[in-house]
Amino acid sequence: MKKLLALALAGTMTLSLAACGGSKADTTTTDTAAAEETTETADTADAASTDGQTYTIGICQLVQHEALDAATQGFKDAVEEGLGKDNVTFEEQNASGDSATCATIINQFVSDNVDLILANATPALQAAAQGTDTIPVLGTAVTEYGVALDIDNFDGLVGTNVSGTSDLAPLDQQAAMLQELFPDAKNVGLLYCSAEANSQYQVDTVQAALEKLGYTCKQYSFSDSNDLASVATTAANESDVIYLPTDNTVASNTEIVRNICEPAGVPIIAGEEGICAGCGVATLSISYYDLGVATGKMAVKILTGEANVSEMPIEYAPEFTKKYNPELAEAMGATIPDDYVAIETAE
């Protein structure tokens, strides 16, 4: 009898232990399932933030130089932040300064049916506007859209598949800067590339402002980098000061201009910081990186359906900064006021 009772107790204990073991296994299984469900939910939430979509953006940049490079980088950073790095692919192409190549690049983007095109600089914008009327196009580092797209009485809204951001600085203030730094100058040369419509617009506007201030002005145009040196030499020989607009050909060849103007003792007022760093004394400039960021934010709104490109007015840089090149300012004997910020140039 005692033996039977002992066996019965042993069986009961065995069943109890088995039950405990079973509870632990069930709990582990439940925890694992819960963790997988949580991960699945998080993944679904991430996908929902972009509706599970991926986007392809074509970037056509006219030429490689500091200002345009900064605008492109700012654009890409803003788009990746807004859409998620894994949700966007950039097809980035550089036209090496050739307008015809811009058209070829744009045609390829259209063939690839990209979701949006970034046109960096005026010739790229012109090619994009001519290449498609359906794919959204955003310009950046474009000075005046009315001039670039041949729109009379432009009011800031293109009204088609084109919008973007402008790098236009107050040109009358650039003229005033020249007077502030070089009040004794009499003859001002305006050097620019005739192939860039917005360069012509800038020098015309600055010339009118300078002439009101009593300066004698003369325009010196070159067709491309091949005749830049000869035209710059003539300008330096005939001018007390030279003004350079936000001209992409000059921006890519500042060393040529500097090697002519510095030995001649002719200072330069530049339209943007990159040109000033290469060959200028001072500039009233914007941040091209910030301009690219603003353009990228516009792209995110378009791609997510928050905004329609045809209803988006051109955006302008909110801030302008007086900057100077310490090395060339000293070489030219210019006295720089305290409200100018020094440009850090490469040694």
Q: For residue 191, what are the β-bridge partners?
A: 220
Q: How far apart are CA 151 and CA 38, in angstroms?
A: 55
Torsion of CA 70, 73, 74, 78, to 10 degrees: 180
Whether the Cβ atoms of residue 328 and residue 262 lie closer than 8 Å to each other = yes
- Residue found under tokens 């830049």: 228
pLDDT tens over the chain, length 347 residues: 333 334 333 444 333 333 333 333 343 334 444 444 444 433 333 433 557 799 999 999 999 999 999 999 999 999 999 999 999 999 999 999 999 999 999 999 999 999 999 999 999 999 999 999 999 999 999 999 999 999 999 999 999 999 999 999 999 999 999 999 999 999 999 999 999 999 999 999 999 999 999 999 999 999 999 999 999 999 999 999 999 999 999 999 999 999 999 999 999 999 999 999 999 999 998 999 999 999 999 999 999 999 999 999 999 998 999 999 999 999 999 999 999 999 986 65
- Residues whose CB is less than 8 angstroms from the CB of residue 94 and which lie 6 or more positions away in sequence, other chains included: 61, 62, 63, 64
- Amino acid 48: pLDDT: 30
Burial class (CB in 10 A: 0-12, 13-18, 19+), 213: middle
Using N-to-C axis directions, what is the helix angle for 197-212 and 171-181, rounded to 10°? 50
Q: What are phi and psi of 240, to 5 degrees?
A: -85, -35
Contact 292, 71 (CB under 8 A): yes
- Structure confidence at residue 52 (pLDDT): 76
Main-chain dihedrals φ then ψ at residue 156, nearest 5 degrees: 100, -10
Q: Are 346 and 308 in contact (CB under 8 A)?
A: no
Q: How many CB atoms lie within 10 A of CB 8?
A: 10
Number of H helices, E strands in the chain: 13, 13
Closest CA to 289 of 306, 272, 313: 272
Q: Helices 288-303 and 66-83: crossing angle, nearest 10°? A: 40
